[in-house]
């Protein structure tokens, strides 16, 4: 009964408004008629009747030529995602009224809603040059400069407008900017200042300080700060990440139990469970957790990579290769994935496939990014028995033990036995418990047939057997 009465009253109100519009229209001059059309257009727009509203906005604008009416039309076109029409009226506004702060603010919303954020910095610069200094604009402008990594300019604007913006915004942005500039002590001081403004800022300040300590690489201090903020889901996620990075698995398990209860479909949580199982040598559980993780999220590439590593432990290189390839399918910028695919292909004697992935990696990354991938080029050429081509690459990365062994093998096959022997001697100095190195050195020396070398060769072979007596290849 009550709802019917409300409906009746609303209909009476609408009829009264309509009567007002009709009556006023009969006796109005141009400006008054424009205002009436404008008012009715706003009402129709709020009712969702944008096409009818647009016609009235246009009539009102043509009668009055008022910029306020045209700007209202543009705002409504944007709010209904009618961007082509909005753009047309933006041009009309600029043609008749120039580029003022009103149209610039509208254009900022227009480009933001279109997702064309690259256009925003120039608009904000122009607004600032026009003298716009309200709190909301300054806050947005500083954040935009920060996100564009224009830290010095952001700091300048912040300092110039300290009197305009709230003190909490000033302290917060100062702290974030100094963190980005790696001036960590200053950042910590401003987060401490933020904390003095009251209890409502305490948790944010503590979280901010924890982030600074993360940036500094002091994960222990970051953890101790995050642990001061109970019940915050963001903090629980951060703690899970940091416990994981610092091998604090007993604490990690406690946090994961809560997080998995809240969201059992989070792939990252299951990956963490897999890593914990690996550390505890529960390999079958690790397999299960990684399979669960990669199945929950088609972008989860690390669980695929870790599955590849597990299969490699069991010398199942076909399966490991499959999962390494899946990791780079999911994340084409994953350097370690390329490295392991190429390595697996070399182990499987799939030299053509290895070469394809090596060339992909060489095109995708710079040398500084991935010298360890370039490192594989010599190994791959060696596997293809292209020894002359392999040699310069192996020499370039001769500090890598495996490359050095391959290089020594090439020298030995070229009758440059003395160079091969020199390499093995250097490697043994670095790694005196590697039985393979002693064995290789012994047999290489045995190729130089004189009594002295044979006696020394026998000594090194015996040393290999002493280190690894179970290896039948040394007998």
| DSSP annotation of 400 | S
Q: For the chain, how long is the longest CA-to-CA vector?
A: 126
Let me know: does 276 contact 253? Beta carbons within 8 Å: yes
The Cα 177–Cα 212 span in angstroms is: 11
Nearest-5° angle of CA 187, CA 190, CA 195?
130
Is residue 454 packed enough to be buried (19+ CB in 10 Å), middle (13-18) or exposed (0-12)?
Answer: middle
Phi, psi angles (nearest 5°) of residue 438: -60, -45
pLDDT confidence of residue 218: 94
Cβ neighbours of residue 141 under 8 Å, at least 6 residues apart?
124, 127, 128, 157
Distance from the Cα of residue 448 to its chain's centroid = 57
Domain 12-98 is found in CATH 1.25.40: yes
pLDDT tens for the chain, 475 residues long, are: 445 454 555 555 555 555 555 554 444 466 778 888 888 989 888 999 999 989 998 999 998 899 999 999 999 999 999 999 999 999 999 999 999 999 999 999 999 999 998 889 999 999 999 999 998 999 999 999 998 899 999 999 999 999 999 999 999 999 999 999 999 999 999 999 999 999 889 999 999 999 999 999 999 999 999 999 877 888 999 999 999 999 898 899 889 999 999 999 999 999 999 999 998 889 999 999 999 999 999 999 999 999 999 999 998 999 999 999 999 999 998 988 998 998 899 889 888 898 888 888 877 776 555 566 667 778 888 888 888 888 888 878 777 787 888 888 888 887 788 888 888 888 888 877 888 887 778 778 877 665 556 767 777 777 778 777 776 665 5
| DSSP annotation of 441 | H
Work out the number of other CB atoms within 10 angstroms of the CB of residue 408: 26
| pTM score of the predicted model | 0.65
pLDDT confidence of residue 423: 85
- 404-475: CATH topology is 1.25.40
Q: In Å, how far are 53, 79, 340 from 106, measured between CA atoms?
A: 19, 11, 51
Cβ neighbours of residue 229 under 8 Å, at least 6 residues apart?
203, 206, 207, 235
> Domain boundaries in the chain?
12-98, 404-475
- To the nearest 10°, the Cα dihedral for 86, 92, 97, 100? 30
Question: Which bin fits 229, alpha (ψ -120 to 50), beta or left (φ > 0)?
Answer: beta
Instruction: Name the CA radius of gyration of the chain, rounded.
Output: 35
Let me know: does 157 contact 142? Beta carbons within 8 Å: yes
Phi, psi angles (nearest 5°) of residue 110: -60, -50
pLDDT confidence of residue 370: 59
Let me know: does 34 contact 22? Beta carbons within 8 Å: no
């Amino acid at each position: 009964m009550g709802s019917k009465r409300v409906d009746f009253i609303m209909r009476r109100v609408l009829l009264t408004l309509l009567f007002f519009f009709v009556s006023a229209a009969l006796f109005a001059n141009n400006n008054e008629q424009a205002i009436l059309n404008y008012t009715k257009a706003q009402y129709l727009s709020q009712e969702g009747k944008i096409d009818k509203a647009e016609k009235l906005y246009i009539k009102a604008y043509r009668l009055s030529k008022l910029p306020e009416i045209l700007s209202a039309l543009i705002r409504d076109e944007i709010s209904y995602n009618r961007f082509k029409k909005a753009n047309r009226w933006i041009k009309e506004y600029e043609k008749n009224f120039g580029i003022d702060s009103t149209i610039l603010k509208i254009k900022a919303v227009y480009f933001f809603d279109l997702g064309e954020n690259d256009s925003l910095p120039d608009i904000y610069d122009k607004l600032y040059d026009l003298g716009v200094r309200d709190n909301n604009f300054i806050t947005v402008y500083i954040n935009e400069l920060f996100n564009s990594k224009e830290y010095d300019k952001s700091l300048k604007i912040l300092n110039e407008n300290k009197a305009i913006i709230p003190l909490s915004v000033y302290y917060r942005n100062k702290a974030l900017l100094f963190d980005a500039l790696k001036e960590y002590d200053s950042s910590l001081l401003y987060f401490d200042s933020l904390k003095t403004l009251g209890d409502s800022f305490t948790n944010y300040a503590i979280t901010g300080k924890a982030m600074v300590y993360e940036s500094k690489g002091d994960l222990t201090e970051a953890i101790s700060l995050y642990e001061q903020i109970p019940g915050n889901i963001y903090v629980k996620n951060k703690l899970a990440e940091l416990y994981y990075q610092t091998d604090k698995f007993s604490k990690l398990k406690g946090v994961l139990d809560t997080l998995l209860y809240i969201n059992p479909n989070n792939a990252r949580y299951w990956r963490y469970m897999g890593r914990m199982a690996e550390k505890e040598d529960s390999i079958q559980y690790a397999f299960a957790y990684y399979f669960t993780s990669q199945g929950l999220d088609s972008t989860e590439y690390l669980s695929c990579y870790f599955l590849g590593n597990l299969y490699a432990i069991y010398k199942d290189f076909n399966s490991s290769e499959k999962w390494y390839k899946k990791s780079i399918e999911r994340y084409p910028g994953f350097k370690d994935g390329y490295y392991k695919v190429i390595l697996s292909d070399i182990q499987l004697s799939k030299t053509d496939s290895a070469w394809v992935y090596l060339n992909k990696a060489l095109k995708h990354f710079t040398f500084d990014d991935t010298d360890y991938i370039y490192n594989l080029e010599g190994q791959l050429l060696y596997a293809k028995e292209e020894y002359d081509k392999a040699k310069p690459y192996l020499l370039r990365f001769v500090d890598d033990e495996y490359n050095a062994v391959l290089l020594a093998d090439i020298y030995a096959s070229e009758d440059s036995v003395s160079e091969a022997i020199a390499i093995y001697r250097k490697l043994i100095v670095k790694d005196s418990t590697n039985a393979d190195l002693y064995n290789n050195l012994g047999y290489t020396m045995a190729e130089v047939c004189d009594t002295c070398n044979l006696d020394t060769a026998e000594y090194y072979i015996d040393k290999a057997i002493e280190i690894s007596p179970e290896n039948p290849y040394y007998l």
